[in-house]
């Protein structure tokens, strides 16, 4: 590759990085420019771990006959492989042993390599494999996102020339920086949304970070917790207790999200959520009621499964309320929480607490019941008026009647 071509590609990479192009766009454009410069590329792979609590890393694969770059990922703890098995995977081997450069000249011999994947590549026509690893900001930013690794495969007889591997060596740092910019942004977004929630995460990422900054909004509030959790925690080992919590939260949180709700925070064995996607109170109440009904059904199924497996199980209590809240940054200068505050938040917690005394899974406020139309009047039955701790006037409370599956 001529020096002018290399500089043109480097300029293009910088331009794409400044424009915020995705990894797919970067990798596809880079590979096509190398092909224009005479590289006979068969397959290119770029991979980097991430900070996502569920996804351990992403990889992007370019193939010469594919229309677009393939994106894939692997889950934390998904592989379950032994050290010996990991050392049979080129990228894992390089990460584990801090290998910065790896080359397997597949055309030189028909003998199997130490990497089964490369044996498959050779059977498909590949002739040369060249992989590079680079560290990015290791001293300033320790952790799993400080490395990036890539592999280049050709199917040309005789493999890559020395000039081509030298060009890859020279261009890889610029490409790695551009890809890492996008990967870091993605990792940041993943962490923020995973720990703050989608709505709060979006607001923080778009600059709503001033203490006390936020907005007043009218929302349906959902507060629930697991019943009997303290007794269960006293009698179960840690792994079983955490496993039960994860199962129930997976079931309940996914259901809230499915019906348009937003989980705001976890409170030990419970969580606070809100439904505010629609400007119409009735629509938000309908969504919350449907989520509550689905949660009850799915928690019953989860209970039956855990009982059959001899695992601890729990029931839940849920309070639903409608009111005005402040949604924004609350806290000190050094530690903020993006959440909701206001009398309505305290009231929904008190309503949920009444679910135990009234022996009902779901208890809703009069304000919620009055706003819930959408054919749900026959689903809400009055439980009478009750004094709620910290609330001035007694409140009429309602419960949700479960409909048949076909209703």
Are the C-beta atoms of 305 and 204 separated by less than 8 Å? no
Using the CB atoms, write b or e for 346-373: b if 16+ within 10 Å.
ebbbbbbbbbeeeebbbbbbbbbbebbe
Q: In the chain, what percentage of residues exceed pLDDT 70?
A: 84
Assigned domain for 200 exists: no
Specify whether 81 is located in the same domain as 118. Answer: yes
Assigned domain for 407 exists: no
Tell me: pLDDT of 317 over 70. yes
Assigned domain for 202 exists: no
Question: What one-character DSSP code corresponds to residue 145?
Answer: T
Output the pLDDT for position 213: 65
- Name the band, by pLDDT with cuts 50, 70 and 90, for residue 91: confident
Specify whether 163 is located in the same domain as 80. Answer: yes
Output the pLDDT for position 179: 85
Residue 146 belongs to a domain with what CATH number? 3.30.450.40
Average pLDDT score over residue span 301-308: 94
Are the C-beta atoms of 153 and 41 separated by less than 8 Å? yes
Query: Counting runs of H as helices and runs of E as strands, what totals does the chain give?
Result: 12, 14
Specify whether 158 is located in the same domain as 242. Answer: no
Q: What are phi and psi of 405, to 5 degrees?
A: -55, -30
Assigned domain for 293 exists: yes
Specify whether 344 is located in the same domain as 291. Answer: yes
Specify whether 180 is located in the same domain as 233. Answer: no
120-146 pLDDT, tens digit per residue, is 999 999 999 999 999 876 554 444 457
Averaged confidence pLDDT in the chain: 85
Tell me: pLDDT of 171 over 90. yes
Q: Which of 140, 171, 195 is the last residue of a domain?
A: 195
Lowest mean pLDDT among 8-22, 189-203, 308-322, 338-352: 189-203
Specify whether 157 is located in the same domain as 212. Answer: no
Output the pLDDT for position 33: 94
Specify whether 233 is located in the same domain as 190. Answer: no
Q: Which of 195, 229, 244 is the last residue of a domain?
A: 195
Tell me: pLDDT of 207 over 90. no
Specify whether 42 is located in the same domain as 69. Answer: yes
pTM of the model: 0.65
Assigned domain for 20 exists: yes
Assigned domain for 146 exists: yes
- Domain count across the chain: 2
Assigned domain for 105 exists: yes
Question: What one-character DSSP code corresponds to residue 219?
Answer: E
Range of the domain at 120: 3-195
Q: Cα torsion for 354, 355, 358, 363, to the nearest 10°? A: 100
Specify whether 300 is located in the same domain as 161. Answer: no
Specify whether 116 is located in the same domain as 22. Answer: yes
Residue 256 belongs to a domain with what CATH number? 3.30.70.1230
Specify whether 134 is located in the same domain as 242. Answer: no
Output the pLDDT for position 72: 78
Assigned domain for 406 exists: no
Q: In the chain, what percentage of residues exceed pLDDT 90?
A: 50
Q: Which of 144, 170, 195 is the last residue of a domain?
A: 195
Specify whether 278 is located in the same domain as 361. Answer: yes
280-296 pLDDT, tens digit per residue, is 899 999 999 999 999 99
């Amino acid at each position: 590759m001529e020096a002018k071509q290399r500089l043109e590609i480097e300029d293009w990479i910088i331009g794409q990085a400044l424009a915020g192009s995705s990894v797919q766009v970067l990798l596809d454009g880079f590979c096509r420019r190398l092909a224009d410069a005479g590289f006979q590329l068969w397959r290119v792979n770029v991979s980097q771990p991430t900070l996502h609590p569920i996804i351990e890393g992403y990889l992007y694969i370019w193939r010469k006959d594919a229309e677009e770059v393939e994106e894939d990922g692997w889950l934390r703890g998904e592989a379950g492989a032994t050290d010996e098995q990991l050392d049979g995977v080129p990228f894992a081997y390089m990460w584990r042993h801090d290998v910065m450069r790896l080359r397997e000249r597949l055309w030189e011999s028909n003998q199997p390599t130490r990497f089964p994947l490369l044996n498959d590549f050779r059977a498909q026509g590949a002739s040369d494999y060249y992989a590079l690893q680079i560290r990015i900001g290791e001293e300033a930013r320790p952790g799993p996102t400080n490395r990036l690794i890539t592999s280049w495969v050709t199917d040309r007889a005789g493999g890559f020339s020395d000039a081509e591997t030298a060009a890859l060596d020279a261009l890889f740092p610029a490409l790695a920086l551009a890809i890492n910019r996008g990967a870091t942004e993605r990792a940041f977004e993943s962490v923020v949304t995973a720990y703050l929630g989608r709505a709060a995460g979006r607001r923080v990422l778009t600059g709503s970070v001033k203490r006390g900054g936020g907005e007043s909004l009218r929302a349906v509030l959902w507060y629930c917790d697991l019943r009997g959790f303290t007794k269960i925690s006293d009698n179960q080992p840690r792994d079983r207790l955490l496993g039960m919590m994860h199962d129930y939260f997976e079931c309940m949180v996914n259901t809230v999200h499915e019906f348009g709700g937003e989980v705001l925070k976890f409170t030990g064995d419970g969580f606070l959520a809100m439904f505010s996607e629609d400007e119409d109170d009735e629509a938000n109440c309908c969504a919350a009621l449907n989520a509550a009904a689905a949660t009850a059904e799915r928690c019953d199924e989860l209970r039956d499964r855990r009982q059959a497996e001899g695992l601890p199980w729990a029931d839940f209590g849920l309070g639903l309320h409608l009111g005005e809240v402040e949604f924004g940054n609350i806290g000190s200068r050094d530690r903020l929480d993006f959440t909701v505050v206001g009398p309505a938040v305290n009231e929904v917690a008190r309503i949920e607490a009444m679910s135990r005394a009234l022996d009902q899974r779901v208890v809703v406020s009069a304000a919620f019941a009055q706003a819930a139309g959408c054919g749900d009047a026959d689903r809400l039955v009055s439980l009478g008026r009750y004094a709620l701790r910290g609330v001035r006037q007694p409140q009429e409370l309602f419960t949700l009647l479960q409909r048949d599956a076909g209703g």
